[in-house]
Structure 1
Amino acid sequence: METIKLNTLVCLFCLLGAVIGQGAYDWMTYDAFDEINDRMDAITPENCRAKPVAELMLNPDSVAQKPVSNKLLSQLIYPNRTCLLHLHNMALNRAYFYSYMNQALNETKTEFHMQPGLMYYYMSAEADVAANPGCINGSAIMWDNHYTYANWYTNLEFNHTLPLFGARAWRFDDYNEPTNWLREPTNYTINIEDYGAGQGSNYSNSDYKLNEWYNMWMPDADSSLDSLRKHTYDVAVHFSNQTGEFINKEGYEGRAFFGPSSPGQREIEHLPVKYTAPYYDCGRSNKWIISATSPVLDYVPRYIFNWTDLSRQRFVGAIVMDTDFLKIDLNPCPAGQGNPPPNMFQNIARCDPTTQCEPHHGWGFKRGGYNCACRPGYRYPAFQNGPYEGVDIERATNTEHERGFQCLETGWKQTLPNLDGERPVDTGVIPGLGRKKRAINSRKHVESDLVKSRKKRTMLKSRTKRKTPVSLKETFIEAMNVVIKPEIEVKERARRHIVSKRALPKPEEKITKEAPKVKRSFVPRYERDTSKHRVKRDFFDAEAFERFQRIDNHRLQVKADNCHLMTKDDLFLPGDVAYGADEQLQNQARTALRMAHFISNFMENIDFYEEYGTLRGDRPLNYEQLFGEVMANVMADYKIHGSGIFFDTDKFVNLDGTTRQYFGPYAYKASGTRTKVVDFAGFDGEPYINDDWFVNIKERWQSNVYGLKKWTTKALVRSDLKGTALNRFEHYPMFYRAPALDDGQWSKPYFDCGGHTGINDWVITYSVPFFGMNSLRTHIEFKGVATVDVLLAELDIHQCPMPFHVPNAFKSTARCHYESTRCVHLPGKKFNKGSYKCECRQGYEYPFNDRAWYYDGQTMESEYNKMIAAEKGESNPDEVRHRFHTLKCRPASAPRIAGSSILLLVIAAVIHMMH
């Protein structure tokens, strides 16, 4: 009986708690996020096979702002879309590579065996996943029916095909592996299998459900669309068969191949990369994923020798790159320039009407990935420091929601100073409080009056007796911040932050009472030394800015026509100029890391002499394959200007078993849209192994490979030619060791002057090592370096204040007024000044009514330059006017100034005096 009473009491408490909990959050409404979340929760690994296609796929607009190939150079890619952009580029990368390989090596039976083998497909897909954790969750190449000319089977006749073949790799959750004693996922295990083998392997059938990536490109039967869906790419190659000598001494050899489309700016249909709707990867990774897919082309039929006119370029396969849907940032803000439609989650953010929404980066598919900043004309309450965080708003109770997350209206809004003599546009200034427009000629007299009253106001602030009272008119003008500061204070603020200290005596001097007192010069509040109070203050560093100017001037002076006159030191910039490259150019670095993973895996596990029944072992890497790899890296990513694979001395083995002293295939963007590929071993002079980017990596890894990550590969292959079943590969599982992203390094900026790369510009190079088995196959050794080159102009500079230990050449050079504003970095403005904004600090408000709530960094830089030009007499003060010292926030006041009758009387008196 007591147990029944206790259970009843517990049920009553639970019911009461549920009712109270529901009432506490009843202000929240059911929206698009709840709809998608409910649909995802309804699918499990146990019931996914029985669900219809409609329930296994989400709305296409549940992922917004997808990168579009023909608009990458004309639109800003926000940080929350860099992963989708890398997914796009890697799909295009593999499509270029396999299209080039299929068409370049399809003429003779000898070239047939130089094409990628089975493990090449497997390990290439694995490298895509292993080198991109957190971004690429799966990688595959899916072939059409009977378009796979497999060279890895001994019982498949030459010029015959497999029914279907699809090599797909995905990251496996290895928390329950027997070798994982800690039971924690490591992300170091990759599953690979042939999707064209086993039960239910016909992914070309409509009953396959999740084959949208197949239906986008195949089957390719309509030849009338060939000119729209396919493009001819021109590549120039320069081969070398021995050190210091090229095969073709006359120059580059032109090659053309068909690849994915290259649409114009207005094309919206025939794009080279398309995205699937988010879908549930049933039976494999059992996750909600989204795929980027691009087509692979080939001349079909192959090997018809004298009947090549019968061949036609066709879509023979599709590259499929997957990413986890839950890791893609959603944009819950209203539609706008930074959040264009279609977007299913538009306007689900719960910001107050007095605020505006700003999305967060790296939040993923979760609520609260935004903040609510004050709209123009509003300010934060005294208790709020910065924007309201969305995660706090989403979990607010009824009481907290009623109190709201609002901003207070700015009572006194000013129009921007009119420097051109035209009538200012009224944008909502409070009636009766607008500033009276002054004639341009009277500005000089106002400044001179303030200069004369400078001493009087200083005496007033220092609590000394005044000889002449300050007029009410001047006090009002200064309080409202509507005039430019006098020239004396302008020069004070333009210098480096000056620390006001008393003059200290020399060590040998003795301090006495008669020591003369040193008069302290006036220093602005935000420039005073606060170290005694242990308060961190941001400041403008004039010395850093002068260094910034010298570096930038030197960068602009070195050009292709005069770089050969410079010394070697003049062709380098300090290393801290490349600050931020490890984060901003991470995807480009991972492209080189992918090559290092693939080559390391291949050279550690592939043995040419191994045979597995009817399955032939892969042949060693050949020059055509590596030429195609570096070419694809450059063609697929507009930020990568060059890419190379450089082998150490006597580490590259040809197909015939001979050893090459040097081998360094390198691809770079030439003039126009052409890509050139050259073997660095063919150049005379000092070899590439003496370059800094190679020497630094080799010195670290030549004798000690400790620290390399161990990766596990679980490969399943088809049991026969028809793909009746899937079997484990003979070596199951396979292991290889490869570097991580931090094991590579970015070089300091240097000017490539008339070098073999043909860049003739400032570049930075990311280098990462790759490894392989030694000649006796007893241990792993250093084999060479993979690189990518990026133009320095692609790097964003960071001018906001930073700690002293941060190696940034441009820190603390932003022109913000640090007493009233704080500096916030703005990405996407490349290597230009002004890539920041100055937002009001707590207790301050934005004074102008110009539909903004911060000062743009480019405006700050422009106005400062105008001020300096005027001070130096380089311009006519009547023609060049600046407002640099009005670009700051003012102390926040009450939301409405009409509540003070005394203030109204003072304003009325001042207005009367001004008239």
Structure 2
Amino acid sequence: SIKMGRGSLAIAVSAACLLIGYSIAIGPYDWMHRDNFDLIMEKMISVDEKNCKEMSIDSLRLPVNTLGQVPKFNVLPQIVVFPNRTKLIHLHNMALNRGYFFSYILQRLNESEFDFPLLPGFMYYYLSSAATVTSAPGLLNGSSILFDTHCQYANWFPTILNFNQTLPLFGPKAWRLDDYQDNVNWLREPTNNTIIVEDLGAGPNHNYTARWHRLNPLFLYDPDPRIKIDFIPDLRTDNQAKHQYDYNIYNSSSPGVMGKTPNVTRRFFGPPSPGIQENYHPVYFSRPYFDCGRTNMWLVSSVGPVIDFMRRYSIETNLRSPKYVAVSTSDIDFRRIDFDPCKRGVESPDHTYLSGVARCGSTTTCEPLPGYGFQRGGYMCHCLPGFRYPYWQNGPFLGRNIEQASDEEAKRFECIPVRWRIHRLTQSGISNSGTGKRRRKRSADDVKLLVQLMRLYNASSMTELRVRAEEHDRQDQQAAAQAKLQQTGVRRFVQLAKSAVSAAVSYLKNATGGSSAARNFTASPSIVSTKLLPRHPLPEATQRLLDERKSRVKRNIETIADYGEQNIYYLGRLSSFSSDRYNAVKALMRQYVSITPENCGAQPPDRLVLPGEVGFGADKQFEVQARTALRLAHFLSAFQQNVNPDEIYGGVHGDKYLNEHQIYGEVFSNIMADHWILSSGVYYDRDAFFNPKLRNKVEYFGPTAYKLGSEQRTDQKQRELSFVAEDAAGWEAARAYYERDWFKLLKERWASNTYGLEKFVTKPFVRFDLNGTSSKPFQRFPIYYRAPRYEDIYWSKPYFDCNKDKDPNKRHLNAWVITVAVPFFGISPYKSLEFSGVVTVTVPLSKMDINMCPSNFYEANYFKNTAPCHYETTYCVPIINNRFALDSYKCECRQGYEYPFNDVSIWFHAGGMVSQNYEKMVNNEQNYYRMLTCREGSASSLLPTLAAVALALVSPWLTGQLTF
């Protein structure tokens, strides 16, 4: 029993020690303490494709608040969207896009038996989901449309499914396959272009609407009030969250002829469009979950509703009502989502489970960085106002360097206090932006003596001030030595200086030896060494123990050449400012502001177009909107290259040709799901569109939708729910879409040569029978198609879309816009690829940020080199989300310099203030432009160096002693 007791005690002690050590630090170094990021990583690592089926639902889900800064539809137009949130915005928009489209098309063709064959077939659902995935590599990993029980009226089973009857379940889901070892990938190189599409409503245990189904609690139903995903089954008794949308369509009777009255005026129920004060949304995000058995990855899904008028084709119209019949989902790899590691308040809406995992010091503030995904280091640490970086640090401390730092290196990521800060001058005197900090109260004699020493010091030893910057930093960081100096004060320092005088005089006498050369001798501040030695050396055992604990040699980053990739703020020759370019930018902005919808008709055509360099950076800032057009181009290419209406596969009939209702629905959904898309269109080449109703080809067809509310609506809310579309074939010859640059250039590029298109592979699995007892590969397996890449997108010059004639029958945006155009392709009668048309979206120029900072000579940026910073002491940093306006920059202090002003909230010179004072200086007005600079970072220590004071005191007496 004693042995057992001792053994139990040993086990308990070992477990306690392990638990204590495990709770304190989990990183490679002792200073890295365990946090919530480690808990998430442990849970993610513990699940894989081999054991996921045996784990509980809670083991396959992460905490609810793991995902932060989730986009909300009603606040997206007002909030600032940072670059690290664009992936979630695209995820949000795609789920909403598909929700709008299927709500529109199901209700548009919900009147009679003649509309039933025009509904989307199963290939439409399959290829639409696949196109959503192929158009966004790195952004989306999956897409699906999941119908509720008996809500899908399938038109592809005409012989075995009677009219007005439903399928039990129908849920096509597409996801990206890792095709490294796929049998169709002969090169064995991952392409990210292979997509699997499977009907989740087929196969064993396929009832995904059941609460016991493992898929249901992951992203189809989550009653948590912070998630609120409960669209299907629809048990609501009111239609408050099912908004009604108005739309008008103007058709063209012939090319160049547009009707003056709308041919179609209808309404449909769609996903909700809540106001700013309403708390329900059209799209909700699931918590991160492990997609077991399919992608075997940790995913996040956005879920939006699809609404239909049920029951369909019913005579009893009073019994029909809008109902959530399906959900549209989009998936993204959780590891690709950026998170905010900075510390946030508990009551802050940005507070998440991962808030506070950044390891910034007490003298710095944290700022998240985009592009890091779910890994440490996605942040940087700025110095707080009143602090500066050490002389060896180039720009903010990067999180990736902090996360790799040893115990000794971690102490170096701190900022140094800035002493002798000055008040900012204003026209009324000295500003009261902050109060200076005193170290301690001194007597008048001490202050006078200190002033005299500083005068002598500044007069004779300015070079020493620059050379000894490292010594100042070292003194500031040694808290004990600094406290001792503060206690003893200036008198103690002067005594130390006088003790150095004897050493200096002895050295000079020995060096000169009484020669005549001493008469012309000039004292140098570098004669006296100021190196401080330890008062008591450490014992050998202690020193040896400290040496053994060093896990690696400290990295040498003392010079600019040692920085490598860390040297992100060293600009060299790029530190330039062009006054001529600045004047040109000011003239361009005057042109931009002066043209309005009222006077644009009187402007010459050249004033309605800006240089192409003005749109520099649009491909990155409007990537979400451009990929919306790319998705539609991928779908049209895949559908036209693979669908044949005459094909019959047993009881399954192929899809019909695309009809005008479907194309109008696609362009409507583009503008309704994205606040930044003002218009969207699909423009077919000549004789490229086949009208299934007329059973012939149409010469020109260009459905174009606008975000223009009906002018008859006085209610602002109702105007936001109103949209209009027209057939661009009816535009007059001067405005014909086939004469536009974006159409002509793309046609010239792709009409004769389709080399360069990307090849995509889709593997569809369909249900074996009507009830979906099992799945099987489709008869055409796999499906191939070619479509453009993101790099093939055409970006137009910024232009003003003006209604010159003020004709109410003409639809124009009357704003500065940029058109994004993407080609799509079909199959010619000779079974070869051919150019079929162009998909466009139009975005507002006012939403684009400009970059006025210096950049490389080969970058076609109209605004570069127009920030008038003092580049000798500062560098330029662009400010995002300031939109299309000047002064979108700030001037931060360069390496070795510090911000001299006593501001309590900023540590840089704001671009607006710099530009304003620069213009005043040019106009010979009163200004303080020359003060908007940074000073050398040598004022961190209140007291001068020992050598400087010693030489300042000894110089007059030394001159007299050496005179013969």
The interval holding the TM-score normalised by the smaller chain is 0.7 to 0.9
- Looking at structure 1, the residues matched to 348 and 929 of structure 2 have their Cα atoms a distance apart, in angstroms, of 32
Are the counterparts in 1 of residues 234 and 325 from structure 2 also a CA contact under 8 Å?
A: no
Is the aligned partner of 1:279 residue 2:316?
no
Match of 1:621, SS state, is coil
Are the counterparts in 1 of residues 148 and 233 from structure 2 also a CA contact under 8 Å?
A: no
Is the aligned partner of 1:232 residue 2:240?
no
Range with bigger deviation, 189-198 or 342-351: 342-351
Picking from 401, 409, 431, the partner of 2:417 is: 409
Give the alignment of 1:46-195 within 5 angstroms.
46-154=50-158, 155-195=160-200
Are the counterparts in 2 of residues 242 and 660 from structure 1 also a CA contact under 8 Å?
A: no
Q: Could you say which residue in structure 2 is the equivalent of 1:664?
A: 702
1:758-794 Cα distance to aligned partner (Å, 9 max, x none): 1011111111110000134x21100001111111111
Q: Could you say which residue in structure 1 is the equivalent of 2:317?
A: 308
Are the counterparts in 1 of residues 383 and 389 from structure 2 also a CA contact under 8 Å?
A: yes
Q: Could you say which residue in structure 2 is the equivalent of 1:503?
A: none
Picking from 646, 653, 664, the partner of 2:683 is: 646
- Looking at structure 1, the residues matched to 906 and 369 of structure 2 have their Cα atoms a distance apart, in angstroms, of 20
Range with bigger deviation, 753-762 or 567-576: 753-762
Letter of the 1:641 counterpart: L
1:337-359 Cα distance to aligned partner (Å, 9 max, x none): 99843311111111111112121
1:266-288 Cα distance to aligned partner (Å, 9 max, x none): 223x1111000000001001000
- Looking at structure 2, the residues matched to 697 and 115 of structure 1 have their Cα atoms a distance apart, in angstroms, of 31
Q: Could you say which residue in structure 1 is the equivalent of 2:550?
A: none
Are the counterparts in 2 of residues 697 and 744 from structure 1 also a CA contact under 8 Å?
A: no
Task: Name stretches of at least 5 consecutive residues in structure 2 with no aligned partner.
Answer: 1-20, 222-228, 443-457, 463-570, 710-718, 805-809, 953-964
Are the counterparts in 2 of residues 352 and 404 from structure 1 also a CA contact under 8 Å?
A: no
- Looking at structure 1, the residues matched to 110 and 85 of structure 2 have their Cα atoms a distance apart, in angstroms, of 38
Letter of the 1:194 counterpart: D
- Aligned in 2, Cα 1:668/1:27: closer, same or farther, shift over 3 Å? same
Picking from 365, 374, 381, the partner of 2:383 is: 374
Is the aligned partner of 1:824 residue 2:885?
no
Cα offset for 1:867?
4.7
Q: Could you say which residue in structure 2 is the equivalent of 1:571?
A: 608
- Looking at structure 1, the residues matched to 676 and 296 of structure 2 have their Cα atoms a distance apart, in angstroms, of 34
Letter of the 1:839 counterpart: E
- Looking at structure 1, the residues matched to 253 and 690 of structure 2 have their Cα atoms a distance apart, in angstroms, of 12
Are the counterparts in 2 of residues 744 and 768 from structure 1 also a CA contact under 8 Å?
A: yes
Match of 1:897, SS state, is coil
Give the alignment of 1:9-24 within 5 angstroms.
none
Are the counterparts in 1 of residues 74 and 275 from structure 2 also a CA contact under 8 Å?
A: yes
Cα offset for 1:901?
8.4
Match of 2:299, SS state, is strand
- Looking at structure 2, the residues matched to 622 and 108 of structure 1 have their Cα atoms a distance apart, in angstroms, of 17
Q: Could you say which residue in structure 2 is the equivalent of 1:263?
A: 274
Q: Could you say which residue in structure 2 is the equivalent of 1:217?
A: 230
Cα offset for 1:638?
0.8
- Looking at structure 2, the residues matched to 240 and 211 of structure 1 have their Cα atoms a distance apart, in angstroms, of 46
Letter of the 2:771 counterpart: K
Letter of the 2:243 counterpart: H
- Looking at structure 2, the residues matched to 405 and 556 of structure 1 have their Cα atoms a distance apart, in angstroms, of 45
Cα offset for 1:900?
5.4
Match of 1:70, SS state, is coil
Cα offset for 1:23?
9.8
- Looking at structure 2, the residues matched to 22 and 550 of structure 1 have their Cα atoms a distance apart, in angstroms, of 58
Letter of the 2:142 counterpart: G
- Looking at structure 1, the residues matched to 697 and 306 of structure 2 have their Cα atoms a distance apart, in angstroms, of 33
- Looking at structure 2, the residues matched to 601 and 22 of structure 1 have their Cα atoms a distance apart, in angstroms, of 50
Is the aligned partner of 1:243 residue 2:255?
yes
Cα offset for 1:422?
7.8
Picking from 16, 34, 41, the partner of 2:38 is: 34
Are the counterparts in 1 of residues 203 and 775 from structure 2 also a CA contact under 8 Å?
A: yes
Cα offset for 1:558?
2.1
- Aligned in 2, Cα 1:571/1:636: closer, same or farther, shift over 3 Å? same
Q: Could you say which residue in structure 2 is the equivalent of 1:890?
A: 935
- Looking at structure 2, the residues matched to 341 and 130 of structure 1 have their Cα atoms a distance apart, in angstroms, of 31
Cα offset for 1:728?
0.6
Cα offset for 1:199?
1.4
- Aligned in 2, Cα 1:906/1:632: closer, same or farther, shift over 3 Å? farther
The count of aligned residue pairs is: 780
Are the counterparts in 2 of residues 415 and 429 from structure 1 also a CA contact under 8 Å?
A: no
Q: Could you say which residue in structure 2 is the equivalent of 1:740?
A: 789
- Looking at structure 2, the residues matched to 40 and 657 of structure 1 have their Cα atoms a distance apart, in angstroms, of 55
Q: Could you say which residue in structure 1 is the equivalent of 2:520?
A: none
- Looking at structure 2, the residues matched to 338 and 830 of structure 1 have their Cα atoms a distance apart, in angstroms, of 29
Letter of the 1:679 counterpart: D
- Looking at structure 2, the residues matched to 684 and 421 of structure 1 have their Cα atoms a distance apart, in angstroms, of 63
Match of 2:239, SS state, is helix
- Looking at structure 1, the residues matched to 441 and 862 of structure 2 have their Cα atoms a distance apart, in angstroms, of 45
1:588-636 Cα distance to aligned partner (Å, 9 max, x none): 1111111110000000000011011110100000000000000110111
Is the aligned partner of 1:388 residue 2:397?
yes
Match of 1:161, SS state, is coil
Match of 2:636, SS state, is helix
Are the counterparts in 2 of residues 220 and 314 from structure 1 also a CA contact under 8 Å?
A: no
Q: Could you say which residue in structure 2 is the equivalent of 1:329?
A: 338
Cα offset for 1:366?
0.6
- Aligned in 2, Cα 1:904/1:116: closer, same or farther, shift over 3 Å? farther
- Aligned in 2, Cα 1:542/1:421: closer, same or farther, shift over 3 Å? closer
Instruction: Report sequence identity in percent.
Output: 43
1:722-771 Cα distance to aligned partner (Å, 9 max, x none): 01000111100010000001112101111112175410111111111100
Are the counterparts in 2 of residues 418 and 424 from structure 1 also a CA contact under 8 Å?
A: no
Letter of the 1:40 counterpart: M
- Looking at structure 1, the residues matched to 638 and 817 of structure 2 have their Cα atoms a distance apart, in angstroms, of 29
Q: Could you say which residue in structure 1 is the equivalent of 2:657?
A: 620
- Looking at structure 1, the residues matched to 418 and 346 of structure 2 have their Cα atoms a distance apart, in angstroms, of 26
Range with bigger deviation, 553-562 or 539-548: 553-562
Cα offset for 1:203?
0.5
Cα offset for 1:389?
1.6
Are the counterparts in 2 of residues 898 and 904 from structure 1 also a CA contact under 8 Å?
A: no
Q: Could you say which residue in structure 2 is the equivalent of 1:726?
A: 775
Is the aligned partner of 1:44 residue 2:48?
yes
- Looking at structure 2, the residues matched to 668 and 824 of structure 1 have their Cα atoms a distance apart, in angstroms, of 36
Instruction: State TM-score, norm by structure 2.
Output: 0.78
Letter of the 2:220 counterpart: Y
Letter of the 1:36 counterpart: I
Q: Which has the larger radius of gyration?
A: 2
Match of 2:118, SS state, is coil
Match of 2:245, SS state, is strand
Range with bigger deviation, 340-349 or 159-168: 340-349
Cα offset for 1:180?
2.5
Range with bigger deviation, 232-241 or 293-302: 232-241
Cα offset for 1:34?
0.6
Cα root mean square deviation, aligned:
2.7
- Looking at structure 1, the residues matched to 118 and 608 of structure 2 have their Cα atoms a distance apart, in angstroms, of 41
Give the alignment of 1:781-796 within 5 angstroms.
781-796=834-849
Give the alignment of 1:904-915 within 5 angstroms.
none
Are the counterparts in 2 of residues 217 and 318 from structure 1 also a CA contact under 8 Å?
A: no
1:628-658 Cα distance to aligned partner (Å, 9 max, x none): 0001101111111111100000110010420
Q: Could you say which residue in structure 2 is the equivalent of 1:444?
A: none
Are the counterparts in 2 of residues 99 and 257 from structure 1 also a CA contact under 8 Å?
A: yes
Cα offset for 1:220?
4.6
- Looking at structure 2, the residues matched to 241 and 622 of structure 1 have their Cα atoms a distance apart, in angstroms, of 17
Cα offset for 1:24?
6.1
- Looking at structure 2, the residues matched to 241 and 716 of structure 1 have their Cα atoms a distance apart, in angstroms, of 42
Q: Could you say which residue in structure 1 is the equivalent of 2:744?
A: 695
Q: Could you say which residue in structure 1 is the equivalent of 2:766?
A: 717
Letter of the 2:916 counterpart: S
Task: Name stretches of at least 5 consecutive residues in structure 1 with no aligned partner.
Answer: 1-17, 435-456, 462-533, 908-915
1:570-589 Cα distance to aligned partner (Å, 9 max, x none): 22111101110111111111
Cα offset for 1:885?
2.6
Cα offset for 1:883?
3.4
Q: Could you say which residue in structure 2 is the equivalent of 1:299?
A: 309
- Aligned in 2, Cα 1:541/1:433: closer, same or farther, shift over 3 Å? farther
- Looking at structure 2, the residues matched to 883 and 208 of structure 1 have their Cα atoms a distance apart, in angstroms, of 69
